[in-house]
């Protein structure tokens, strides 16, 4: 018995079968992309073939022109439709498992998708700069910062990334960092870009504050120096006031001498007072800087040591000059205290960029090796701090030699 199906229902049936076939096809592709097990993929493939076969049988066993097979009986068609329903059920179940699996498991697609949704930019490339993987954000940053799409990660790093920070036209500041990762496919570069707009703004503000603070510090120190100067001025003023008061006393005393016809002794006292005050008033102005070496030689002379200096002298204010003066200073005190000498011989030699100062004296020869302490220790520390050398000899007579490179200002 041949059962005739109305054409409209037959059309709907064919459409449903076609949708079934597409759904199966989607499931097979999804399973392949999801890297599901081989058997699961094969079973989905069988269902696809089954669906396609049912579709073909339905078309070709219908009483339509061009059908390849003779029309089926109602019983056969009933079996065909039951199979179709079963297949439809299996397909729907499979479709849901695919969707569920996608939700619960990682697939390359989910990685890619989530990678693109990251708020930070990220790019992996091989060591030659070929981009292996990058997200939308990084591509966007590259385009905005360099005007070129992200094709060569090394070129992007050299032009933009190596500066560390990049502020785009939108006002957003990105912090770019690059590091090497060891992976299964070898070493790769990972470039990351993090939004540090707020942090960068705070840092800029902090930098500005620090600059201001440094300026204040410099001004405070400058102020400290001028305050010392002010205090000195105050001292001078106080001294001048004393002289002024003293002059008042002088005037009163002089007046009394004249009015009362004072005796010789009293007049001499008044004269002495005047002399003292006038001496103070005739004081030359203070000279802030003077020749410290000259003062040292003069001090040495006062304590009975004649300093005989030969050779060139390092320029005033240089490290070599400061060390030379410190060496002479130490040797003068040692000549007086230990050697009981009266002459200190200082030989200065300039050899290229090096200054050498050798000091000996005409005093007693040391009994044994000179034990460094006090002045010599301090001098050695100063000399070595400036990269110089210091040699102390005890025989045949005491000699101190310091060598220092011609350097900056002391």
Partner 1 sequence: MKPYRVLVVEDQVMPRQLFEMFILSSEQFTLAASIDSAVLADVYCAGGGIDLILMDVVTKNGANGLEAAENIKQRWPKIRIIIVTSMPECSYLERARKIGVDSFWYKEISREPILSLMERTMAGESVYPDAPPEIRLGLAMSGEFTQTELLILRELTGGYTDAEIGEHLHLSRFTVRDYVKSMREKTGFRSRTELAVKARQSGLVILEAKQPE
The residue among 183 and 224 lying less far from partner 1, judged by its C-beta, is: 224
Closest distance of CB 148 from partner 1, Å: 44
The residue among 112 and 242 lying less far from partner 1, judged by its C-beta, is: 242
| Residues near partner 1 (CB under 8 A) | 213-214, 216-221, 223-224, 227-228, 231-232, 234-236, 238-240, 242-243, 276, 279-280, 283-286, 288-289, 292, 295-296, 299-300, 302-304, 329, 332-333, 336-337, 374, 381, 385
The residue among 117 and 279 lying less far from partner 1, judged by its C-beta, is: 279
The residue among 143 and 364 lying less far from partner 1, judged by its C-beta, is: 364
Alpha carbons 37 and 59: distance in angstroms, whole number: 34
Closest distance of CB 265 from partner 1, Å: 16
Chain Cα centroid distance, residue 19: 63
Closest distance of CB 135 from partner 1, Å: 40
Closest distance of CB 365 from partner 1, Å: 19
> Which pair of tokens denotes residue 96?
């849901």
Closest distance of CB 325 from partner 1, Å: 9
Listing from the earlier edge strand, what are the strands of the sheet with 306-310?
306-310, 343-351, 354-361, 399-405, 389-393
The residue among 148 and 240 lying less far from partner 1, judged by its C-beta, is: 240
CB atoms within 10 A of CB 101: 15
Alpha carbons 293 and 325: distance in angstroms, whole number: 6
Bridge partners for 173 per DSSP: 167
Strand duo 343-351 + 306-310: pairing: parallel
Alpha carbons 281 and 244: distance in angstroms, whole number: 10
Closest distance of CB 341 from partner 1, Å: 12
Can the peptide bond before residue 160 be classed as cis, meaning omega within 30 degrees of 0?
no
The residue among 158 and 229 lying less far from partner 1, judged by its C-beta, is: 229
> Which pair of tokens denotes residue 363?
């005093």
- Phi and psi at 252, nearest 5°, equal -60, -45
Closest distance of CB 347 from partner 1, Å: 21
- Phi and psi at 187, nearest 5°, equal -75, 135
The residue among 105 and 231 lying less far from partner 1, judged by its C-beta, is: 231
Strand duo 186-195 + 173-183: pairing: antiparallel
């Amino acid at each position: 018995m041949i059962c005739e199906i109305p054409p409209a229902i037959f059309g709907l049936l064919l459409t449903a079968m076609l949708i079934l076939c597409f759904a199966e096809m989607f499931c097979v592709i999804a399973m392949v992309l999801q890297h599901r097990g081989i058997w699961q993929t094969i079973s989905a493939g069988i269902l696809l073939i089954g669906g396609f076969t049912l579709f073909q049988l339905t078309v070709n066993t219908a009483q339509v022109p061009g059908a390849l097979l003779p029309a089926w009986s109602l019983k056969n068609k009933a079996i065909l439709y039951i199979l179709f329903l079963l297949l439809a059920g299996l397909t729907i179940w499979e479709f849901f498992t695919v969707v569920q699996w996608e939700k619960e498991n990682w697939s390359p697609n989910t990685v890619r998708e989530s990678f693109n949704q990251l708020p930070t930019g990220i790019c992996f490339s091989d060591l030659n700069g070929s981009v292996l993987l990058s997200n939308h954000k990084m591509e966007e940053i590259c385009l905005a910062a360099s005007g070129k799409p992200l094709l060569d990660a090394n070129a992007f790093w050299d032009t933009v990334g190596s500066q560390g920070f990049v502020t785009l036209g939108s006002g957003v500041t990105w912090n770019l960092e690059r590091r090497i990762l060891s992976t299964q496919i070898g070493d790769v570069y990972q470039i990351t870009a993090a939004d540090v707009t707020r942090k960068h703004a705070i840092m800029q503000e902090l930098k500005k504050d620090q600059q201001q603070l440094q300026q204040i510090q410099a001004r405070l120190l400058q102020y400290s120096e001028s305050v010392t100067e002010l205090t000195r001025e105050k001292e001078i003023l106080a001294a001048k006031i004393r002289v002024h008061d003293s002059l008042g006393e002088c005037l009163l005393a002089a007046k009394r001498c004249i009015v009362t016809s004072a005796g010789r002794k009293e007049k001499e006292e008044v004269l002495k007072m005047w002399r003292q005050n006038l001496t103070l008033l005739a004081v030359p102005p203070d000279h802030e800087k003077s020749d410290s070496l000259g003062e040292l030689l003069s001090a040495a002379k006062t304590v009975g040591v004649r300093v005989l200096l030969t050779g060139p002298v390092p320029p005033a204010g240089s490290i070599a000059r400061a060390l030379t003066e410190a060496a002479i200073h130490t040797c003068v005190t040692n000549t007086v205290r230990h050697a009981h000498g009266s002459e200190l011989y200082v030989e200065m030699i300039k050899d290229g960029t090096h200054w050498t100062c050798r000091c000996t004296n005409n005093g007693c020869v040391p009994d044994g090796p000179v034990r460094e302490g006090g002045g010599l220790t301090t001098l050695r520390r100063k000399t070595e701090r400036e990269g110089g050398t210091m040699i102390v000899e005890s025989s045949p007579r005491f000699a101190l030699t310091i060598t220092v490179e011609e350097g900056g200002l002391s």
